[in-house]
Amino acid sequence: MKRYISILFAGLCATAWPGCKKYEIEPQVKDPAFIRVFNNLTPTLDFAHGQQVTPFLTFLMDPKTDAAGIPTDATVVGDFLGTRQLFSLSYAANEANSSVGNNTTGGPLPHPDAPNLTPVKYEYPGNAHILTAPVINGFDLSAWAQVPSGKHRIMFVIRPQNGIVFKDLSASIRSGILLDTTIMLEKGEVYTLEVISRDLDNGKYGLYIRKEQFIHQAFEPNKLYVGFVNLSGEKTEDARNGFMNVFPERVKVTGSYLRYNDPASQASGNVFYTPVPGYDNTYLTTLSTRMDTTISYHPLPMLPQSDFFYQGLLRTYVDVMTPEPARQGTLPYFRFQYLDADVPAYGSLFKTNCSANPAVYNNYNVVTTNVKNYLPNLNLVVNNKGTYHVYPTVNIMEIVYDRVYMMQIVRGFEQIP
């Protein structure tokens, strides 16, 4: 008998069941590979880069072209592809992949940003009605699409942000090809494809392809895991001259695991945390090259279930829009610091507190809020028939110029008791 499990994201629950796939209306793809596509291009990073391409794209796999070589359609079309959101899950969540509008409520309160009323997707397949990957190596990978293995032509076309589907756009717009390349996909493998900026000063872009190794690796069931990769392109002239903050050439990463100190906080009225022994600004890794396609995953401790509750109640997430110190939550969380490995005297250049509520995190506008210094909690909170339980996850932190994107890989629902 199937059991229904809801995943708690601070009051917002999503329901799933074992073996679930999105709209299984077609035969299984023969000898499939699995792909997921992100657009890492952002709005202009600084005033000097007005020539940067508009970060709104159409993804085409095996495009059909007219006599002039202009794409008219494709076997696979990922249209309305906007800049990816800072947090993504390994299974499809409409919260992060809306069909129309971004439902953004960010910005300085009480003045939320106006919602975007034109179609936008934050990844492919997103919430497209297609067959997706099964559970592989114990992980729910339904955010990856099934495609035939083998050789494929891949295109990305720059398009305006309106409601017109790709094939109905004018030929002059469809001819705005940003990338055109051929890739090889192996049967049964899982791939993440990302459009990246290689050199903003000179308008150079590329396709980053990572064959995910976590489907072949063994992970202990009672540990968290995190890996880091630097997907930033060449530093811009403004960055070299100190006019904008981006990640350095070589990045040193340290981590702290913090537990809320109830007695000290209650006695003083302030907020105090105590580092978990062995995880107080502890060295994790140094990223020496860009665009690595192999990620090393670092094991982190999974705390006892009792650490996530206080007087029988689930502890709270941070509220990133509330002023300090009231914003601080009480759930245990990781803080990662990013330093210039070549100039350690500079200290921490960037910090991410993995303490936010995943349900509402992507609602905040990354440009107008301080949300870039926060990411969702690495611990997955599950509500099963009114009982809360906390589970470990595998997490990929992708550094791109001035921000960190977090991809959380979640175990298959059928394995959660």
Per-residue buried b or exposed e for 72-93, using 16+ beta carbons within 10 Å of the residue's own CB:
eebebbbbbbbbbbbbbbbbbb
Sequence-ordered list of residues with C-beta below 8 angstroms from that of 251, at least 6 positions apart, any chain:
228, 230, 286, 287, 338, 339, 340, 341, 399
Whether the link from the prior residue into 110 is cis, omega within 30° of 0, is yes
Instruction: For residues 332 and 308, give the distance between their C-alpha atoms in angstroms, rounded to a whole number.
Output: 7
**Is it the case that residue 408 has pLDDT exceeding 80?**
yes
End-to-end Cα distance, the chain: 14
- Per the model's pLDDT, the better-predicted residue between 267 and 236 turns out to be 267
Residue 350 clears pLDDT 90, i.e. is over it? no
Between CA 38 and CA 86 the distance in angstroms is: 11
307: three-class secondary structure by DSSP? helix
196 has pLDDT over 60: yes
Q: Which of 200, 195, 196 is nearest to 234 (CA)?
A: 200
Share of the chain above pLDDT 90, in %: 62
Query: How many CB atoms sit inside 10 A of residue 293's CB?
Result: 12
Token pair for residue 47?
Answer: 């005033």
Mapped onto helix, strand or coil, the DSSP state of residue 401 is coil
Q: How confident is the model at residue 356 (pLDDT cuts 50, 70, 90)?
A: very high
Residue 334 has pLDDT above 80, yes or no: yes
Can you tell me which residue has the tokens 């299974």? 91
- With CA atoms as reference, report the closest residue to 244 among 16, 44, 41, 36: 44
Compute CA distances 98 → 148, 297, 360, 369, whole Å. Answer: 26, 30, 14, 21
pLDDT at 404 over 50: yes
pLDDT at residue 328 in the model: 75
Lowest model confidence (mean pLDDT) among 75-84, 292-301, 302-311, 362-371: 362-371
Q: 150 - beta bridge partners?
A: 185
- Give the integer Cα–Cα distance in Å for 63 and 67: 13
pLDDT given at position 202: 84
Average pLDDT over residues 240-268: 85
Q: What is the pTM of this model?
A: 0.88
Domain assignments of the chain as residue spans, ordered by start: 5-415
Per residue in 203-233, pLDDT (tens digit) is: 899 999 999 999 999 999 999 999 999 999 8
Indicate whether 17 pLDDT > 50.
no
Q: What pLDDT, on the 0 to 100 scale, is given for residue 23?
A: 45
Rounded Cα–Cα distance for residues 366 and 83 (Å): 11
